[in-house]
Chains A and B, each alone.
Chain A
């Protein structure tokens, strides 16, 4: 017994070492469950606001390029507006009245990048908007040139975005001209190159074809530009193409981004959840029933209150009338 205690006292640093290593590895491997660990990241308020101050200072360094980008976007928008006006004119001359245009399906919240890494295997971006601004995990993030990534974790005022430049990122995409789809992945090394896999070999692919989002996932609306095909190669199994894509988004000077906040529809997500876990169906149906009932009750209550208020109004008016008559 004494020998054991002596052994422990003599080697206590080994136990401390193992304990600290285990704590570190637990942090490393539990990082995927968000919310839980958001306090130990740059989405933490203290760290986030530190980076906010720093990026406020350094943002002046990139103003010129930013301006240049805005100029280019403006130019293109002006062109589009002109074209749209022309089209609108042509349509209005048409004798047939058309249906009013559908409302725009998605809103964006603009945010600024406050911290970012580019040269690791798992790169992440911190932006200065969070749950308080309506941002939730799994929303799409774009910049003026193209797709940036997907929101990964949120705190109240900051969010962490998993950019395309992350070995775990996988985004479904299509080729603009042929409509064949594939998925976009990234490999370590270049900050402006990604790869599209699983495009079938019979698809007519050419260099300089534009790769864009396909809208199958409910993260990005279809048609947002991602990049341009630079080199056409074969996948190791020879069954599909392996396309080298130059990304439109310039990550090394990225400052302003927009988060697409309401494209993903809760209804669709619920439906997909249902098909994935059929066990849940009953409970969901029950909760839906309950919700409906609650809504009905609420409506009745409101109706009753309204009637009551109207009655009171009528009574008051009557009293007023009788008063004026007197």
Chain B
């Protein structure tokens, strides 16, 4: 229980550090910025209490807000994906899988997992950029940021997953 808590805390710290120092400075085509801190919510294993996921999501978003002057925008978006994460996960898991399954390539399969991440990222970016623009006037710009941001952060999360997995395998050998 405690080890899970500290692992998550450590992950939160690392993700936030990378988000604030690296990913916040990526502006593909001038305005597409990936919100990779949503990986915090993606990694929540099956069977985690929904309230715990919500609180972790909220805290992640809130800390991001403090570092990026976005007051409540990321907190609202991360809480939203924390709410839908368990539902989406149930739709993706194969039958007869473990109760405490951790969503990853090995447990869900490459395409299922990538789709799962993409759906969460699309929800996160839609909520975030719609709150940022707070208007439907400049819709093409907002839609490009949402779509581009979702694809880019899905790609980054897949890369993170691949990197950490190979590392684990290496340590096993």
Residues of A that sit less than 8 Å from B by CB:
12-13, 16-17, 20-21, 23-29, 31, 37, 40-42, 44, 47, 54, 115, 117-122, 124, 126, 160, 187-191
Q: How far is the CA of A23 from the CA of B54 in the complex (A)?
A: 13
B33 close to A20 (CB less than 8 A): no
Stretch from B3-11, B37-45, B72-80, B98-106 contacting the other chain: B72-80
Report the contact-size class of chain B (Cβ under 8 Å from the partner): 35 or more
A9 nearest CB across to chain B (Å): 12
B133 close to A28 (CB less than 8 A): no
Determine if B61 is an interface residue (Cβ-Cβ < 8 Å).
yes
Q: Using Cβ atoms and an 8 Å threshold, which residues of chain B touch A160?
A: 69
A23 close to B50 (CB less than 8 A): no
A120 close to B132 (CB less than 8 A): yes
Determine if B160 is an interface residue (Cβ-Cβ < 8 Å).
no
Q: Using Cβ atoms and an 8 Å threshold, which residues of chain A touch B79?
A: 17, 20-21, 24
B76 close to A25 (CB less than 8 A): yes
CB contact between B69 and one of A16, A42, A118 (< 8 Å): that residue: A42
If A21-B76, A42-B66, A189-B31 touch, whether A16 touches B71 (CB-CB below 8 Å) is no
Determine if B51 is an interface residue (Cβ-Cβ < 8 Å).
yes
Q: Using Cβ atoms and an 8 Å threshold, which residues of chain A touch B21?
A: 54
- 21 A-B residue pairs with CB within 8 Å: A13-B54, A13-B83, A17-B79, A23-B75, A24-B61, A26-B72, A27-B72, A40-B71, A47-B66, A117-B24, A117-B68, A119-B27, A119-B30, A119-B31, A120-B31, A120-B132, A188-B31, A188-B133, A188-B138, A189-B31, A191-B30
> In chain B between 113 and 139, which residues have their CB closer than 8 angstroms to a CB of chain A?
131-134, 138
A236 nearest CB across to chain B (Å): 13
Q: Using Cβ atoms and an 8 Å threshold, which residues of chain B touch A189?
A: 30-31, 141
If A47-B66, A160-B69 touch, whether A118 touches B27 (CB-CB below 8 Å) is yes
CB contact between B131 and one of A28, A44, A117, A187 (< 8 Å): that residue: A28
Q: Using Cβ atoms and an 8 Å threshold, which residues of chain A touch B82?
A: 17
CB contact between A41 and one of B50, B69, B73, B83 (< 8 Å): that residue: B69
A207 nearest CB across to chain B (Å): 25
Q: Using Cβ atoms and an 8 Å threshold, which residues of chain A touch B67?
A: 42, 47
A24 close to B132 (CB less than 8 A): no
Interface of chain B, main secondary structure: helix
Q: Using Cβ atoms and an 8 Å threshold, which residues of chain B touch A117?
A: 24, 68-69
A195 nearest CB across to chain B (Å): 14
Q: Using Cβ atoms and an 8 Å threshold, which residues of chain A touch B83?
A: 13, 17
**The 8 residue pairs across chains A and B that have the minimum distance between CB atoms:** A27-B72, A28-B72, A24-B76, A13-B50, A24-B75, A31-B71, A24-B72, A119-B31
If A20-B54, A118-B27, A119-B33 touch, whether A27 touches B69 (CB-CB below 8 Å) is no
Q: Using Cβ atoms and an 8 Å threshold, which residues of chain A touch B131?
A: 28
Q: Using Cβ atoms and an 8 Å threshold, which residues of chain B touch A26?
A: 72
> In chain B between 140 and 170, which residues have their CB closer than 8 angstroms to a CB of chain A?
141
Name the residue on A nearest B33 (C-beta): A119
Contact with A along B26-67 (1 / 0, CB 8 A): 010011010000000000000001110011011001100111
A161 nearest CB across to chain B (Å): 11
Q: How far is the CA of A25 from the CA of B33 in the complex (A)?
A: 22
A25 close to B72 (CB less than 8 A): yes
Q: Using Cβ atoms and an 8 Å threshold, which residues of chain A touch B57?
A: 20
B123 nearest CB across to chain A (Å): 13
Q: Using Cβ atoms and an 8 Å threshold, which residues of chain B touch A28?
A: 71-73, 76, 131
Q: Using Cβ atoms and an 8 Å threshold, which residues of chain A touch B134?
A: 121
Name the residue on B nearest A11 (C-beta): B50
Other 14 A-B pairs with CB < 8 A, given A21-B80, A31-B72 = A13-B54, A16-B51, A16-B54, A17-B82, A17-B83, A20-B58, A21-B79, A24-B58, A47-B66, A119-B33, A120-B132, A187-B138, A190-B30, A191-B30
